[in-house]
Amino acid sequence: MTRPTYSRVSWVLDHEYSAAIGLAVGVAVALLWSALSSSTYFLFIASKSNARVLTYFGVSSLHDVVLSALMAIFFFAMGLELSRELTSGLLTKPKHAVPPVFGAIGGMIFTALGSVALGTILNSHALRQGWGVPMATDVAFTLGAIALLGRRVPQPLRIFVLALAVADDVASVVVLAFVGSTTIHPLWLIGALAALGAFWPLRRRIRHAWWPYVVAAVGIWYLFVRAGVEPTLAGAFVGILVPVAGGARAGHRLEQPVHLLSSYVVLPLFVLANAGVVLTGAVWHSSGGTSVIASIFAARTLGKALGITVGVMLAVRFGLSNLPQGTTWRHMVGVSLLCGMGLTVALLFAHAVFGSSPLLYSGAQIGLLLGTLGAGLLGATVLLAARPDARRPSEDLDETPRLGAPRATVPAADTPPAPIGGHESSKEG
C-alpha cells in the first residue's frame, strides 16, 4: 500500500538523517586519513586491479569503481524517488511542482552565472571552466539537516526540498554528461537512447517484476560507458521508468533495498574516495587554488540560496503557485541556504572538470567542504529563528491555495496527518 504523503516524507527524512550521518563519517575518515598519511590514502583509492574485465567496462581502480559504477546505484535511488513524485506524489499537481522546479532551475542558474562572472572578473579560466561544480544540492546532507531541525521546518516545506533536491541532482548530472564528456561515440549513444526508448512502453506491461529494471540499468550503464557519456545517468533514467503508482509492485520492491545500499554503502564509499584533501601550502598560496575555493564557497552559500529564492519568488509573483503551506519567506531563505550543502554530485562534477589538475581539484574539494559547512550553519540559524505562518485556518495539503497569496498555512509539522483514502481510527466524542 502506498504511504500517505506526510508519512512517506517522514520516512524519507528519518532515512536521510541516518544517511547524512554515514556521509559525515565518510568525510571525517577521508579527511583524517589523508591528513595523517596522504601517501597510503591516495595509494588505496588509486590502487588498480589487473582484472581485464574491469578495464573493458571502463573502470580499473577503486576510485573508478565508486565514481562510475557504484554511483549509478545512488542515481537509481534518485530516479525511483523522482518517479514516485511524478506519478503519485508532489509533482503530480502543477501548484506543488512549480516552486521546486523553479527553485532548482534558479539555484543552478545563479551558481553557474556566479562562477562565470567571478572567473571573468578574476580572469580565471578555471572558474569559467568549473561553472557547474557548485550547482548540485546534496540530498542526504540537506534532508539530514532538516530532519535534525525537526519541527522548525513545516512538513510541506520538507516535501518542497525533497523534490527540489532530487530534480537538482538529476539535472546536474545531465549537464555533466555533456560538459564532462571528452569524446562521445555517437553509435553507442544512439544504442543507449534506443534501449531507453524501447523500454519506455514495456514499463506498462512490467509492473510487478523488479529484475527487468535492474538488468536494463546494467545494460544501459554499459552502453553509456562505451558512448563516453557519464554512466551514472543510466541509474537515474531507468529509475524514473520504474512504475510505482496504480498498484505496481516493482517500485515498492526496489525502493528500500536500493535506498539502503545507496545510503549506507555507496555514499560513504564515495566521500571516502573523494573527500580526502592534502592541505598543502601550495593550494592556499596559489591564486588559482584560492580563487576556486572562494568562488565555490560564495556560490554554495550565497548564489544557491539567492537563485532558489528568486526562482520561487517568480513563481509566486506570476501567480503560478504559492509558498508551501505553513511557511514564510524566512523559511524559504533558510531551506535555500541548506540547499547549498553538497558533496556527492558536486565532487563528481569537480573530478570531471579538475581531475587532471590536482591543485585545482583540491581547491574545489576545500571550497565544497567549507561551503557545505557554511550553508548548513547559516540555514540552520535562519530556520531556528523562523516561526510558522498561523494567520489563517489550517488547510489540507491537497486544497488549491489562493493564487497570488504570499503565504498559506497547514497544521504544525508535528500534527499527525489524517489518513488518506481510509477512515479515522477514532472520533471525538
Q: Give the pLDDT of residue 82.
A: 80
Q: Compute the distance between CA of residue 67 and CA of residue 267 in angstroms, rounded to an integer.
A: 10
Section 87-101 average pLDDT: 79
- In total, the chain counts a number of residues equal to 429
pLDDT at residue 421 greater than cutoff 60: no
Between the two ends of the chain, the Cα-to-Cα distance in Å is 30
Q: Give the pLDDT of residue 228.
A: 82
Return the C-alpha cell found at 95. Answer: 501548484
Provide the pLDDT confidence category of residue 111 given band limits of 50, 70 and 90: very high
Q: Give the pLDDT of residue 90.
A: 66
Q: Compute the distance between CA of residue 198 and CA of residue 193 in angstroms, rounded to an integer.
A: 9
| Amino acid present at 129 | Q
Return the C-alpha cell found at 144. Answer: 539530514
Contact 82, 239 (CB under 8 A): yes
Q: What are phi and psi of 387, to 5 degrees?
A: -130, 145
pLDDT at residue 56 greater than cutoff 70: no
pLDDT at residue 424 greater than cutoff 50: no
Contact 254, 325 (CB under 8 A): no
Report helix, strand or coil for 48.
strand
Provide the pLDDT confidence category of residue 287 given band limits of 50, 70 and 90: low
pLDDT at residue 428 greater than cutoff 50: no
pLDDT at residue 10 greater than cutoff 50: yes
Q: Give the pLDDT of residue 350.
A: 87
Section 243-251 average pLDDT: 82
Q: Which of 262, 343, 245, 269 is nearest to 300 (CA)?
A: 343
Fold of 5-384: Na+/H+ antiporter like fold (1.20.1530)
Percent of the chain whose pLDDT exceeds 70: 80
Provide the pLDDT confidence category of residue 278 given band limits of 50, 70 and 90: low
Check: pTM over 0.85? Answer yes or no: no
Provide the pLDDT confidence category of residue 149 given band limits of 50, 70 and 90: confident
The CA-based diameter of the chain, rounded to the nearest angstrom, is 73
pLDDT at residue 100 greater than cutoff 80: yes
**Each residue's pLDDT tens digit, 373-410:** 999 999 999 998 887 665 443 333 333 333 333 333 33
Q: Compute the distance between CA of residue 386 and CA of residue 151 in angstroms, rounded to an integer.
A: 11
Q: What is the mean pLDDT of the chain?
A: 79
Section 44-54 average pLDDT: 70
Report helix, strand or coil for 47.
coil
pLDDT at residue 63 greater than cutoff 70: yes
Q: Which is higher by pLDDT, 10 or 21?
A: 21
pLDDT at residue 194 greater than cutoff 70: yes
**Each residue's pLDDT tens digit, 311-357:** 999 999 988 888 887 889 999 999 999 999 888 888 888 888 887 78
Count Cβ atoms below 10 Å from residue 418 Cβ, excluding itself: 13
Section 101-108 average pLDDT: 92
CA angle 415, 420, 422 (to 5 degrees): 115
Residue with cell 562510475: 68
SS3 for 331-360 is HHHHHHHHCCCCCHHHHHHHHHHHCCCHHH
Provide the pLDDT confidence category of residue 211 given band limits of 50, 70 and 90: very high
pLDDT at residue 2 greater than cutoff 70: no
Please give the full DSSP string across 355-415, using - where no structure is assigned.
Answer: TT-HHHHHHHHHHHHHHHHHHHHHHHHHHHT-----SS----TTSPPPTT-S-B--S-TTS
Instruction: Provide the residue ranges of all domains of the chain, joining segments of one domain with +.
Output: 5-384
CA dihedral 296, 299, 304, 306 (to 10 degrees): 170
Beta bridge partners of 61: 48
Q: Compute the distance between CA of residue 74 and CA of residue 263 in angstroms, rounded to an integer.
A: 8
Please give the full DSSP string across 227-285, using - where no structure is assigned.
Answer: HTS-TTHHHHHHHHHS--STT--HHHHHHHHHHHHIIIIIHHHHHHHH------HHHHH
Q: Give the pLDDT of residue 110.
A: 93
